[in-house]
Chain A
Amino acid sequence: MSSVLIKNESRLGLKLVAPAVGIIGLLVIYPILFNIYLSFFDVQLNGTKTFVGMENYTDLLGNPRYFHSIGVSVIYLIGTVVGTTVLGLAAAILMNQEFRFRNLARGLILLPYFAPVISVVFGWQFIFDPVNGIYNHVVVDVLHLTDTRENLIGNPDSALFVVILFDIWKHFPIAYLLFLAKLQSVPKDLYEAAAIDGQNAWGRFWHVTLPELRFVIATVVLLRIIWNLNRFEDVYLLAPNVETLPIFTYYQAFAGIVDQGVAAAISVIQLLVLVGLIWLYVRKVLKW
């Protein structure tokens, strides 16, 4: 190609990506940079800023609530990531079998993922309502497992597990969908070969299904970590007393004693962690 053509081509390319770059710059890059900038200031609500150097960071590292929220986030992450992956895998394997109404069942499984958060959150709150909820009704009145009605969502310790359950239920369909798509492309003769090589159903799952799914599993796990490290609305709407990192950040930035500088510092740290995870994802998973 002549140099004129190459030049024209690259000029056109620039024009084509310019709008996208502009939007990303405005909505992503600018806030990130501004956020990093803010994290070195004491920010008042009226807009006055005083440079404080690393003080926001040192404050944060001295705040036990910060570390408590990290602990809650870690439990939340492990519970939700493992839960959605395992449940998604089980559902995908089940839905990969032949049975009547399979297509209908395959569709129905996706429903929690489609449902708007706000409506299902109210449903879940109602389930665990200490007075009228079906959970307490079944546990106390029907099964007589215990005498006392528990307010599972009201208690931050148990609420964490309700929030984890809710996230698993709401988000396992995306894992299921990715697994099912891959399962359908596993050659049938691999299972046949494994059977002939003496493997029973469990051996075939272990030696054929899992290795075939390996990269999809890695993708699902990493995506779920990235999503749930930032997950705010599900947790805040269902049980605002469960203080994961995003919720803690929100309280710092917008509620009670507003301290946007500290909130910015939390975000910066969280951003660094996320960038690390994305780097891992791109290097180890996408580049297989």
Chain B
Amino acid sequence: MSSVILRNVNKSYGNLPIVKNLNLEVKDGEFVVLVGPSGCGKSTTLRMVAGLEDITQGEIQIGKRAINDLPPHKRNIAMVFQNYALYPHMSVRENIVFGLKKSGADAETIKQKLADVSEMLKLDDYLDRKPADLSGGQRQRVAMGRALARDADVYLFDEPLSNLDAKLRHHMRTEIARIQHQYNMTAIYVTHDQIEAMTLGDRVVVMRDGIVEQVGTPMEIYLQPTNTFVATFIGSPAMNLIEAEIEGEDLVFDNYRLPAAKIANVDLQDLKSHDTVLVGIRPDFFEDSALSLKRSPSDNLFEFNDIQVELVENLGFDKEIMFKLGGEDAKARLDLRSHVKRQENISMSVDLNRVLLFDTSPQGMLLNAGEV
């Protein structure tokens, strides 16, 4: 295993920049997830590490080696492709050991690795089949096996689960997490699925338009997104952002006055330099006041009274309700004990320690400082 360092990495096609001045250090044994919408440059970044794309500018290092000018076959990396890219004329067994053989492993090691990998990924029964005779999930496992069998410095995953159905995707996600911990491998994982990013990454890199918006642990990204893009991209349903006027020390929208002083880590002096701010509340942080759950005197709650429920979506354990806040559509996620109904007026409470404030600039920068 090795660390991976990207230093001022740029990639452009002609005059079109794809990745802009990217800096990232993936530590030895760390699992880093690159996440972002389509076209944000995450796959391109991964492919530059793999050597499948040229680096326009900057440097990439694996371990102590600068690898800019090394072709992919000399980089000692392993990769799982989105469409698996299994060799169609080779059996599952041959696919798995193909790279291992090339790397010069002796027969005993190859046999051992094959046995390990096929047991771990439950491929024992398919070893003599061709990829064409496998289901999508099985092919995905073979692609994983082919990468894991290698003794690579770094493992790259390019949206490996995006072609699987929801159930299988969840299963494989857990498998990958388990394997990563077991092998303690250095891995870079690209996905547009924020759940994969949250659950798999030791650290998550959120990208947009070729720029890194935020790097942090999943919980940092979730609780302390540096701007409104990260705030709304991570978390589902997306964070509610409500525009509020600043009147004295209150944040005012609809009939509500949120006391800014009770919101965590907000510099009141700084706040007063703004006319309006965006109040960010995750749907998960609303509670049905009728249930009065988990309340203790120390809780720093704010009541939203007279909320008219426009729609209720029952998801089993959760229910998502839709309503209006500050004139915009808003969502809350309540648990199954709540009995709210469509068209009903209800009260919901929010822990003010969980409320985030963003400025109204195009970037929408976070105004809360420090740990939340």
Check B51 against A190 for contact (C-beta < 8 Å).
no
* Contact call A211/B102, Cβ cutoff below 8 A: no
What residues of B have a CB within 8 angstroms of the CB of A199 in the complex?
73, 102
Contact mask for chain B residues 36-77; partner A; CB cutoff 8 A; 1 contact, 0 none: 000000000000001110000000000000000001110101
Interface hits, B235-263 → A, CB 8 Å: none
Cα–Cα, bound, A195→B79 (Å): 10
Decide if B103 is an interface residue (CB 8 Å cutoff). yes
Interface string of B184-219 (1 = CB under 8 A from A): 000000000000000000000000000000000000
The residues of B that contact A211 with a CB separation of less than 8 Å are 87-89
How far is it, in angstroms, between the C-alpha of A214 and the C-alpha of B86 when the chains are bound?
17
Contact of B71 among A195, A197, A214 (CB under 8 A): A195
B81 touches A193 (CB 8 A): yes
* B98 within 8 Å of A (CB atoms): yes
B83 interface hit (Cβ, 8 Å) = yes
- The reply to whether A193 and B102 form a contact with Cβ atoms under 8 Å apart is no
Complex CA–CA separation, A198 to B104 (angstroms): 10
Of A187, A198, A208, A214, which is within 8 A of B73 by CB?
A198
For residue A196, CB closer than 8 A to chain B, the reply is yes
The secondary structure that dominates the A interface is: helix
Q: A200 on the interface (CB 8 Å rule)?
A: yes
A194 to B99, CA, bound (A): 8
Would you call A203 an interface residue if the criterion is a C-beta within 8 Å of the partner chain's C-beta atoms? yes
- Asked if B321 lies at the interface with its beta carbon under 8 angstroms from chain A, I say no
- Chain A stretch 223-280: residues in CB contact (< 8 A) with chain B: none
How many of chain B's residues have a CB under 8 angstroms from any CB in A? 24
Residues of B within 8 A of A203 (CB): 73, 102
Residue pair B85, A190 in contact (C-beta under 8 Å): yes
In the complex, chain B residues whose CB is within 8 Å of the CB of A207: 87, 98
CB distance from B48 to the nearest CB of A (A): 13
Q: A189-B81, A203-B102 are in contact. Are A196 and B87 (CB under 8 A)?
A: no
Contact with A196, one of B78, B82, B86 (Cβ below 8 angstroms): B78
B89 touches A192 (CB 8 A): no
**Contact between chains at A195 and B73 (CB < 8 Å):** yes
Whether B72 contacts A196 by the Cβ 8 Å rule is yes
Contact status B87-A198, CB under 8 Å: no
Asked, given contacts A197-B98, A198-B103, A199-B102, whether A192 binds B87 with beta carbons under 8 Å apart, the answer is no
Within the complex, the shortest CB–CB distance from B95 to chain A, in Å, comes to 9
B103 CB to nearest chain A CB (Å): 6
* Separation of A214 and B90 alpha carbons in the complex (Å): 13
Q: Which of B52, B83, B146 contacts A195 (CB 8 A)?
A: B52
Kindly state the separation between the CA atoms of A211 and B88 in the bound complex, as whole angstroms: 9
The digit string for A139-162, where 1 denotes a CB below 8 A from any CB of B, is: 000000000000000000000000
Interface residues of A (CB under 8 A from B): 187, 189-190, 192-200, 203, 207-208, 211-212, 214
Q: List 9 A-B contacts (CB under 8 A).
A: A190-B87, A192-B79, A192-B85, A194-B87, A196-B73, A197-B102, A198-B73, A199-B102, A208-B87
B positions within 8 Å CB-CB of A: 50-52, 71-73, 75, 77-79, 81-83, 85-89, 98-99, 102-103, 146, 150
Q: A197-B146, A198-B102 are in contact. List 9 more A-B contacts (CB 8 A).
A: A189-B83, A189-B85, A196-B52, A196-B78, A197-B73, A211-B87, A211-B88, A211-B89, A212-B88
The 5 A-B pairs at the shortest CB distance, nearest first, are namely A197-B99, A189-B85, A193-B85, A198-B102, A211-B89
